[in-house]
Amino acid sequence: MEYPRQDRDYEPVETRIRHFEEFVLPLAERELSTQGARCMDCGIPFCHQGCPVNNLIPDWNDLVWKGEWQRASQVLHSTNNFPEFTGRICPAPCEEACTLNLEDVPVSIKTIECAIVDKAWENGWITPQPAAHKSGKSVAVVGSGPAGMACAQQLARTGHAVTLFEKNDRIGGLLRYGIPDFKMEKHHIDLRLEQMQAEGVDFKTGTHVGVDITAEQLLQQFDAVALTGGSELPRDLPVPGRDLEGVHFAMQFLPQQNRRVAGDSIPPEQAITATGKHVIVIGGGDTGSDCIGTSIRQGCASVTQLEILPRPPEKENKGLTWPLWPNKLRTSSSQAEGAVRDWSVATKCFSGENGKVEKIHCVRVAWNKDAAGVWQMSEIADSEFELPAELVLLAMGFVHPVQEGLLNDLGVAFDQRGNVLGATEGANAYHTSVDKVFAAGDMRRGQSLVVWAIREGRQCARAIDEYLMGCSELPR
Ligand SMILES: Cc1cc2nc3c(=O)[nH]c(=O)nc-3n(C[C@H](O)[C@H](O)[C@H](O)COP(=O)(O)OP(=O)(O)OC[C@H]3O[C@@H](n4cnc5c(N)ncnc54)[C@H](O)[C@@H]3O)c2cc1C
Ligand code: SF4
C-alpha cells in the first residue's frame, strides 16, 4: 500500500540490438530494499508454491528489506543451486502466484533474487562447499545442462565421486548453446564450473556417452548413473520445400551465434546467418523469441513470427487463473525489438529457386471445439497468403529425447510421450526402469524450464544418495 512496484528496466532497443550482451538495468540497493518491503509475508505464501524450487521468497524479501544480503544469499541458495540463472531467464511463475498479482502488481521477486546472488558473487560470499567425508561411491551424470549441473553439485557436496559427461565442448546444455548471451552471459556458467571443480566434480566435455563410452562401460564403471541429456529431438515441419537451403531448425541457428560470441569461428560453408534477409520464425515460444533477438542483432531485413495457435487474450481472468500460470498475450524483449507477429497461421509449403528458399506459403486456420469438446483446427477458405522468406527458422519445440544410442542401449523404458520413464515421488523417485539408472530434467519431463531442471536435478541427487547410502540428508 505504501510503495509502488518497481522493476528492472531495459537498455533502449536502438542500443541493445547493437550488441549481444545482457541489457537489463539493475535497480539500486535502496530501491531493492523498498521492493522487498512490499512483500506482505503472507500466511500462505503462494509465491513459494508457484516456484518449482520452492524458493523461500518471503524470507529473503524480508532480509533484503533489512539489508541482510549475505543471510539472504544463504537462504536463497538453500533451495536453488543457480539463482543467477533463474534470476535472469526464469519466466517467474512465482510472480504470477504472488498475492499482490491479484491487482497486477506482484512483488519484483525475480529482480530481488538476481540482485541477491549478483551481490553474493561480487562480495565473495559464494565459495566451494566440498564434502567433509567421501562416501567411496561413484556417480556418472550424463549431460551438463541445469539438471545435470544441479544433480552433480548436490552429489559432490554429499561426498560422492561425480563425473559429469558432456558431448559438447563446453558445459551448460541449453544455457550455453541455446539461450542467447543477451539473455544470459556465459561467464555465469563458468563461475559455477570453477566452484563445482573445487567441490570435486570431474568434468568430461567432448565425451558423447553411448558413442565414446558405451552404456555397458558406464554401468560397469559407476555405482549409479543420472541421465540428464535434455529433450533434443526437434519437432519438424514436413511440408513441400522443407529441404530447400535456408530452412533450418532453431537449434542449428542459435548455437552458432553463442559460439561466435565465445570467440569460436564457424566455417563459412556451415554458417547460418540472418544478415540482410527476410526471416520467418515458425513457433511462438521462448526459442522463437531467441531466434528473433538473434536475427535482429545480426541485421536481418525483417523478421516475422508465425504461430499456429490463436492469439491469446490480452488479459487473463484472475478469478479463474490465479495463482496458476495463465494463458495470456506476452511480449518478450526480443519481440519488442521489431518482430511482426501473426497467429492462427499454418504453413502449406516453402518455395524458391536454385535450391534456396524464397517464399513461405501460408493459410489462416480456425480453431473450434468438436462434439466431444476437443479443439480442432480447420483451414479458412481463400485465406492463403505468402511472405518473403530467405531464412526460415523452425522453433516448434522438441518431441522427446534422442532415443537412438545411449537410451536404447541402456534399455530404459519410455513414457507415452517418448520421454524417459521415471516417477518424481515414492520409493522409486527418478529411478528409470533399469537398476541404478536415474533420469531428471527435460530428458524425463519433456521440454520445460531451467527452474524445473534445477528442481529435478536436486531431487534426483537425493534419490541417488538414498539408493547408494540407504538414507540422505540432501534437501528435496
Ligand atoms: C532456445 C531455447 C531457449 C530457452 N529459453 C528458456 C528461458 O528463457 N527460460 C527457461 O526457463 N527455459 C528456457 N528454455 C528451456 C530450458 O533451456 C530447458 O528446459 C533446460 O535447459 C533443460 O535442462 P536439462 O539440463 O534437462 O537439459 P539441457 O539444457 O538440454 O542439457 C542437456 C545436455 O546433455 C548433453 N547430452 C545429451 N546427450 C548426451 C550424451 N549421450 N552424452 C553426453 N552429453 C549428452 C547435451 O549436449 C546438453 O548439453 C529454452 C530452451 C531453448 C531450446
Ligand atoms: S505471495 Fe507475494 S506478498 Fe505474499 S509472501 Fe509471496 S512475495 Fe510476499
Domain residue ranges in the chain: 9-122, 138-232+399-469, 236-396
Q: What is residue 432's DSSP assignment?
A: -
Q: What is residue 269's DSSP assignment?
A: G
Q: Which ligand is closest to the CA of 456, given by its number? A: 1
Torsion over CA: 44, 45, 51, 56 (sign): negative
In ligand 2, which atom is closest to the CA atom of 58? 5
Tell me, in angstroms, the distance from the centre of ligand 2 to residue 333's CA.
25
Tell me, in angstroms, the distance from the centre of ligand 2 to residue 45's CA.
5
Q: What is the pLDDT of residue 361?
A: 98
Decide whether any atom of ligand 2 lies within 6 Å of the 39 Cβ.
yes
Edge-first strand order for the sheet with 161-165 is 202-204, 161-165, 138-142, 224-227, 437-439
- Measured distance CA(150)–CA(451) in Å, rounded: 10
Q: What is the pLDDT of residue 264?
A: 98
Going by alpha carbons, the residue nearest to atom 2 of ligand 2 is 98
Q: Do domains 9-122 and 138-232+399-469 have the same CATH topology?
A: no
Q: Which ligand is closest to the CA of 451, given by its number? A: 1
Going by alpha carbons, the residue nearest to atom 8 of ligand 2 is 39
Tell me, in angstroms, the distance from the centre of ligand 1 to residue 377's CA.
31
In ligand 1, which atom is closest to the CA atom of 210? 41
**Strand pairing partners for 138?**
161
What are the CB-based long-range contacts (under 8 Å, 24+) for 153-156?
153/81, 153/192, 153/195, 153/196, 153/199, 153/201, 153/461, 154/81, 154/457, 154/458, 154/461, 154/462, 154/465, 154/474, 155/226, 155/461, 155/464, 155/465, 156/130, 156/131, 156/196, 156/199, 156/200, 156/201
- Measured distance CA(316)–CA(310) in Å, rounded: 15
Q: What is the pLDDT of residue 76?
A: 98
Q: What is the pLDDT of residue 284?
A: 87
Q: What is the pLDDT of residue 280?
A: 98
- Measured distance CA(441)–CA(451) in Å, rounded: 9
Q: Domain 236-396: what homologous superfamily?
A: FAD/NAD(P)-binding domain (3.50.50.60)
Q: Which residues contact 198 (CB under 8 A, 6 or more apart)?
A: 128, 130
Decide whether any atom of ligand 2 lies within 6 Å of the 60 Cβ.
no
Tell me, in angstroms, the distance from the centre of ligand 1 to residue 183's CA.
15
For a mutational test of ligand 1's pocket, the pick from 179, 189, 452, i.e. the residue with the most ligand atoms closer than 8 A to its C-beta, is 179
Tell me, in angstroms, the distance from the centre of ligand 1 to residue 354's CA.
35
Tell me, in angstroms, the distance from the centre of ligand 2 to residue 111's CA.
14
For a mutational test of ligand 1's pocket, the pick from 53, 174, 183, i.e. the residue with the most ligand atoms closer than 8 A to its C-beta, is 174
Q: Domain 138-232+399-469: what homologous superfamily?
A: FAD/NAD(P)-binding domain (3.50.50.60)
For a mutational test of ligand 2's pocket, the pick from 7, 41, 47, 111, i.e. the residue with the most ligand atoms closer than 8 A to its C-beta, is 47
For a mutational test of ligand 1's pocket, the pick from 82, 84, 448, 450, i.e. the residue with the most ligand atoms closer than 8 A to its C-beta, is 450
Tell me, in angstroms, the distance from the centre of ligand 1 to residue 173's CA.
5
Tell me, in angstroms, the distance from the centre of ligand 2 to residue 449's CA.
22
Going by alpha carbons, the residue nearest to atom 4 of ligand 2 is 42
Going by alpha carbons, the residue nearest to atom 1 of ligand 2 is 98
Decide whether any atom of ligand 2 lies within 6 Å of the 99 Cβ.
yes
In ligand 1, which atom is closest to the CA atom of 451? 11
Q: Which residues contact 341 (CB under 8 A, 6 or more apart)?
A: 284, 304, 305, 307, 335
Concatenating the DSSP letter of every residue in 59-104 gives: HHHHHHHHT-HHHHHHHHHTT-S-HHHHHHH---HHHHHSGGGGGT
In ligand 2, which atom is closest to the CA atom of 101? 2
Give 9-122's CATH code, choosing from 3.40.50.2300, 3.40.50.460, 3.30.2310.20, 1.10.1060.10: 1.10.1060.10
Tell me, in angstroms, the distance from the centre of ligand 2 to residue 65's CA.
14
pLDDT tens track, the chain, 476 positions: 899 999 999 999 999 999 999 999 999 999 999 999 999 999 999 999 999 999 999 999 999 999 999 999 999 999 999 999 999 999 999 999 999 999 999 999 999 999 999 999 999 999 999 999 999 999 999 999 999 999 999 999 999 999 999 999 999 999 999 999 999 999 999 999 999 999 999 999 999 999 999 999 999 999 999 999 999 999 999 999 999 999 999 999 999 999 999 999 999 999 999 999 999 999 989 999 999 999 999 999 999 999 999 999 999 999 999 999 999 999 999 999 999 999 999 999 999 999 999 999 999 999 999 999 999 999 999 999 999 999 999 999 999 999 999 999 999 999 999 999 999 999 999 999 999 999 999 999 999 999 999 999 999 999 999 999 999 999 87
Cβ 443 vs Cβ 427: under 8 Å: no
3-state secondary structure of 470: coil
Q: What is residue 312's DSSP assignment?
A: P
Tell me, in angstroms, the distance from the centre of ligand 1 to residue 175's CA.
7
